Structure formats: C-alpha cells, structure tokens
Structure 1
C-alpha cells in the first residue's frame, strides 16, 4: 500500500463548508425573489431639516468701532501764588462743587501786602486832594496875574500826577487782594477730585506750576473714536442724500457698551467731527456725548461704539448657521418645490440684529435650511422640511 499525496480533510470541516454554501444560496434566492416595491419600502425616509422662509425686512446698518470714555472737562489745579500749603480741605476721590476750596496756602504775607497797598492808596488819595486844591488856587491867581503861567502849569501837572498815583495805588490794592484770594485754591469745575499730589507743609511756587490735583467732570461724558476714510466718505454721501443727519441738521445717534456689558445700553449723539483726516493713519477723530447720571461711565474706560451706518432699506436676512463655505465661496441649501436640497451661492453683507444680510443669491420666498444642514450630503438630496419660527433660530453674535 503506497501513501497518497493529498492531505486528508477532517469531516467536521467539510460539514461546516457545506452549511455555509447552503446559507449563501438560500440568501441569494430570497433576494432574487423580492419585488422592486419591497426594496423601495426598505429605504430610509428623507431626513428632517429646519427651514426658514426668506422675506424682505426693513433694516438699518450699524458700524462698530472702538473708543475711549473721556471727561468733558478735565482741569489740572496749579497754584497761582507761592507759599506753604496750610491745609487740604477735601477727601481724595470725592465729588466737589465748582468754587469749593480744596487747598489753602499760607496767606499771612499776602494779608500784609494787601494792608500796605491799602495804606499807599490812602496816601495817594490825600496827595491827589491836595494837588487838586493847589491847582484850583493857582487858577485863581493866574487869572489875577498874581503868579506866573509857568507856576500855574507846574501846579496843574502836580495835580494830574497825584490823580494818576491814586489809580496806580488802586490797581496795587486789587492785585494784592487777588493774591490773597488765590491762597485759597478752589475747584474750577464740578466733578470728581483726584489724589492730592501736594500735601500740607509743602512749599509750592507759582513759577514752576506744580500740579496740586486734577478735577474731572462726571456728567455728561464724551466718547472719542476714529473712523477710516471710506466710512467717513460714505457718511458724507448719506448726509447729502438725506439718509443721515449732517452736523448742521442734527446729531447722529450712537450706542455704547462697556467691557462685560451685553449689547449697547448707553445711548448718545455725535457732537463733534474733526476738521481734517490724519494723513498718517487715514482716520478722522469723532466725538459723541453721553448722559452719565448714574456715574457708570468713568473717564478712560474702553468703549464699544456702534454708529448708525445707513438709512432704512429692504434686505433679505438669514441665520448665520445656514451659511457654508466652499474655499472662497459662501453658499446655503434651499428646499425647492420637489422637496430636494439645492445649493445656492450667496454674497453676504453685514449682520443686523443677529442675522446676516444676503446681498445676492436668494429671492423672497426661498426656504433656507438652517438646522440639520449636516444631514444634506449632496445637492438634489430629498429632505423633509420643517418650518422654524423666528424665535427658534439660534441667536448669533454680531461680527462685522
């Protein structure tokens, strides 16, 4: 008996192969026996997508810029006379009224100077009275030819000089009185006083003009910001067309928000536009005035400023979540009459009230897919549109 060259296969392995072949044959027979209608019923239904119908809406565009809050009046208090600081009368950081005494300078030498000037005034008035009487007697005597014309003219000149001395003495008294008054340093404006930079006992001089403190007004306040040339020219064109108030016709409204605030709760008006564009930066300085009765707007704060940038016009708005990007192009999906998703390339504008302006690519009545757009895999895909109410659309932050 010679050995065979073939390897023997165990019986269990043969049985398993036979069972697998039988199962495959049965599956193919089952699929072949299915009707076309039954295969279609096994396909999944079209996915649901949230749509919003595009409708024209009257809107206004606003431009957003950055600015700074500034005080309307800001004064550095400096001494007008020299001397030692005798007393500081205010609490640093408190509100002060116009005319309130903030510092007192030692006034003893200035009182003495005023008393001396007043004494000189009395003496000058006495000399002037004597000169007038002598001039009157000289007039009588010259009429009687009792004195010479030369002597008469000398007495008349002496009387005139005595009168002039009275005026000089009076001016000296006024100057001394002013110096004495300047020893009390008063607040020139109402507002908030800063830190006392010179305290009691220090010598101050009117010559070097050392700053004693600063006082800034608190209500109203200004907000300063810059705008570029293109925006400035657009505003000017709008004013010529009557879509925006000009500086002569009325003030342009602005809205201001601080860091950490939502939206723009503070409302004001532009009250100043600079007379030239800075050639170094290509911008022009603009100023607005804001009410600050509650004192929340502190000078120096960063401000987000929103300026009215257009008149009222009709625009098509969509939610920003509906916008997709294909390299450098923006597009959305709309649901047509057959219930399929179709791609539309769009040209977008600014955001108004949380929605994006569509300048081209859509028409009124188009149903734009807002939610579930990730379920659309290709243009022409069947979808099941579900209308969304306006308040159901997610809020979008304003980004220009």
Structure 2
C-alpha cells in the first residue's frame, strides 16, 4: 500500500503530460522568399577578347660614338626628355681638331702643286708644238698635271673626313624621347666605329605614341581579319579594330588605341599570331617594357539584351539565371553570356526581353519555388552592386 501511494502522483503527472490539448495548432507554412527581379535592357554592345601584352617604344636607339676619344662632357639629365638634335655627350675634340688642321694644310699644298703642274703642262704644250721637247717629255708633264689634280681631290676628301670626325665628337640625339642614365662617367675612353665595336653611352626611347604587342590564337585572329574585311567593304566603313589597355594597378581599361598590324604568319611553335596596337601616350604612363591587359574588339557592334552581372549563377561550367513566371514560380534557365558593359552582362541566349530575371536573393531560391518578387530596373540593380 505504501508503494502505491509513492508512485501514484508520478503516473498521474505522466498521463497528464501526454494528453492532447485544444491549444496545439498545425505548423505554420514558411513565408515566400522575397527577391528582386528586373527585365533585360536592350543595348548595342561589342564583343571583346582579353590578352596579356607588353608595351614597346616605337623608336629605340642605342647612343654610340662614331669616333674614339675621352669623354669630356655629359649634357643631359638621366631619365629626362630629349629632342632630336640635342647635344648629349662631348668627346675630347683636341686630337681631331689637330687632324683637321693637318688635313687643311695638306690641302693648301695640293692646291699649290696643282697650279705648278698646270703651268708646267702649259709650257710643255707650247714647246711640244714647236718641237722644243720630245713627245715623251710632253707626256710626262701632262701626267704630272693629272697626278696633282688627283692629289688635290684626295686632300679635299681628307679635310672633309677630318671635319666629320671633329663634328662627331659632339654626340647628339637622333630622336625625340626619354634617355637612360649614362653608361660611362667623364674621363673614360670610348671607342667609336660600328655598332658592335662602339661603346654604348645611353639609350633613348620614344614615348608618345607607343606599341602594345600581344599573341593571339588562330580563331581570334580570323575574327579580326573578317572585321577588317567588312570594314574595307563598307560594313563598318572608316572604322578600325578598337583596342583598350589596362596597367597592373588599373581595374578598368582607360587607355584607348587601335590595331595596326597582324603578322602575316603563325608561330608554329606556339600556334599564335603576333598583333600590334598603337596607343597615344601624352602622360607617358605606358612605359616601354611594362606588361598590360589588352582588350581587342572581337566583333562589330550588335544589339543585345543585358542583365545585371550579379544575377548570373554558375553551375560547374554552365551559367544560369532564375526567371519569375506570372504565378510567382521561378524557372531555371541556362544562358550564354556576352561582354560586360557598365555593370550589366550581355545575354546571347536564354532570356527574352519580357522575362523577369531574379537579380537579388538568388541564394534563397530552389527550383519550382514560389517567390514574392519586387520589380526594379536592371540598371539600378547594377548600380547597387558597384563598390
């Protein structure tokens, strides 16, 4: 009896806790996901191909002396701008000035000798006419005149050479551009002559405009050739293949140029073709030797539908979007994308102009889900995504 009294309250409590009550209700249905959707906008776009390229100067000259001697003056600032004809270096002119003086003296002697030879030849001619000298003597004096004339020409050439060598002691810039630091300091002996033998003094590179070189695959090059062909036939008359460039610290492509050269042959080792673009460079940001990202126009302009880039999902290698139907149900659509334009992405296949594409809240969506969509413009969605 005691055991029954002890355990009875527990049984009563347990029974009470398991009994149904009228207050229990069915679990509430989850709320519909809230998303934002926008219709594609129609714009004219252009396809672009991106490559890694390098910048080169249009003109680059190694400054070397034409005559040997000791470096006497340096007349520029390392890294500074120079103009064609500017005096850069002076080689000690004294030895070559002495050579010029010697050559000029020899020229004077040659002129005197020529006058004497002329007089002697004239006398010989008069004497020969009256049988005063033999024919052999006459020929000898005529030969002396010819030799004196040749000696004068040789002396004149020696003077011109000596004058040139003296002029070459002043080393001047052959182009406009920027010059590197000097490779030798004052007092050093420099060797003149041909490029392989002459001492390198400095290098000058032109800075405006500049070239950008890239290597493109065969399919890309074929596109560019066809674009040029259309241009020549009037489809895009007067236009060039546009190229834009970005330096290492630039996110957009602010530098604009155009394609001016396509190599006529493919590199069999790499399967690529060399391309060259020209860029104006008034601020000299595009320095020869820099690497850059280069975008080349891959098509003529064409009309396309664009949606915010953030609306596009990735499923392994496939791109997709969610489209909201009239009943609020979302549909999975595979899409083929085109170029990026001001926060919007061109869609070549997969959506129509009247479709409402989810642009915000795509992480909340599952196939077949019913959503509550707020309609906004595609451009405003793209602007919101910008940093």
Please report the TM-score for the alignment, with normalisation by the length of structure 1: 0.86
Structural RMSD (CA): 2.8
Structure 2 residue aligned with 1:388: 376
C-alpha distance 266-107 of structure 1, shift in aligned 2 (>3 A):
same
Selected match of 2:269 from 258, 263, 280:
280
Match of 2:254 in 1: 265
How far has the Cα of 1:88 moved from its partner? 1.9
For 2:232 and 2:132, how far apart are their aligned partners in 1? 91
CA contact (8 A) 1:221 1:290 kept: yes
Are residue 335 (structure 1) and residue 324 (structure 2) matched?
yes
Deviation at 1:290, TM superposition (A): 1.9
Offset of 1:105 from its aligned partner?
1.5
Q: Residue 26 of structure 1 corresponds to which residue in structure 2? A: 22
* Deviation, structure 1 residue 267: 1.7
Q: 1:391 to 1:332 in 2, by over 3 A?
A: closer
Alignment of 1:32-111 (within 5 A): 43-111=29-97
Q: 1:325 to 1:305 in 2, by over 3 A?
A: closer
Distance in 1 (alpha carbons) for counterparts of 2:317 and 2:262: 38
Following TM superposition, by how much is the alpha carbon of 1:271 offset from its aligned partner in structure 2, in angstroms? 2.7
Q: Is the 8 A contact 2:224 2:298 kept in 1?
A: yes
Runs of 5+ in structure 2 lacking a partner? none
Counterpart for residue 127 of structure 1: 113
In the other structure, the counterpart of 1:228 is 217
1:347 aligned partner: 336
Q: Does 1:16 align with 2:17?
A: no
Name the residue aligned to 1:185.
171
Question: Cα gap change, 1:365/1:250 in structure 2, threshold over 3 Å: closer, same or farther?
Answer: closer
1:249 positional shift: 6.8
CA offset at residue 118 of structure 1? 0.6
- Counterpart position of 1:162: 148
Larger Rg: 1
Tell me the secondary structure at the aligned position of residue 11 of structure 1.
helix
CA deviation after TM superposition for structure 1 residue 151, in Å:
2.3
The 8 Å contact of residues 52 and 388 in structure 1, kept in 2 or not, is answered as yes
Unaligned runs of 5+ in 1: 32-38
1:319 corresponds to which of 294, 308, 322:
308
The verdict on how the C-alpha distance between 1:244 and 1:288 changes in structure 2, with shifts beyond 3 A counting, is farther
**CA–CA distance in 2 between the matches of 1:278 and 1:368?**
45
TM-aligned CA distance change 1:325 to 1:264, over 3 Å: closer
1:299 matched to 2:288? The reply is yes
Instruction: Pick closer, same or farther for the CA change 1:251–1:327 going to 2, 3 Å.
Output: closer
Contact 2:73–2:186 at 8 Å: present in 1 too? yes
**Partners of 2:316 and 2:251 in 1: CA distance:** 33
Q: Give the CA deviation at 1:364.
A: 2.1
- Map Cα deviations across residues 360-386 of structure 1 (whole Å, 9 max, x no partner): 22222111111111222232x222221
Q: State the 1:318 CA deviation.
A: 2.4
Secondary structure in structure 1 of the residue aligned to 2:116: helix
Q: How many corresponding residue pairs?
A: 381
1:83-111: CA deviation from partner (whole Å, max 9, x where unpaired): 11122222222222222222221222111
Give 1:341 shift: 0.9
Q: CA deviation at 1:57?
A: 2.5
Determine the structure 2 residue equivalent to 1:36.
none
The secondary structure found in structure 1 opposite 2:358 is strand
TM-score for the superposition, normalised by structure 2: 0.89
The CA deviation string for residues 269-299 of structure 1, in whole angstroms up to 9 with x for no partner, is 2233333221111222222222222222222
Distance 1:142-1:8 versus aligned 2 partners, 3 A rule: farther
CA contact (8 A) 1:330 1:347 kept: yes
Q: Distance in 2 between matches of 1:65 and 1:281?
A: 15
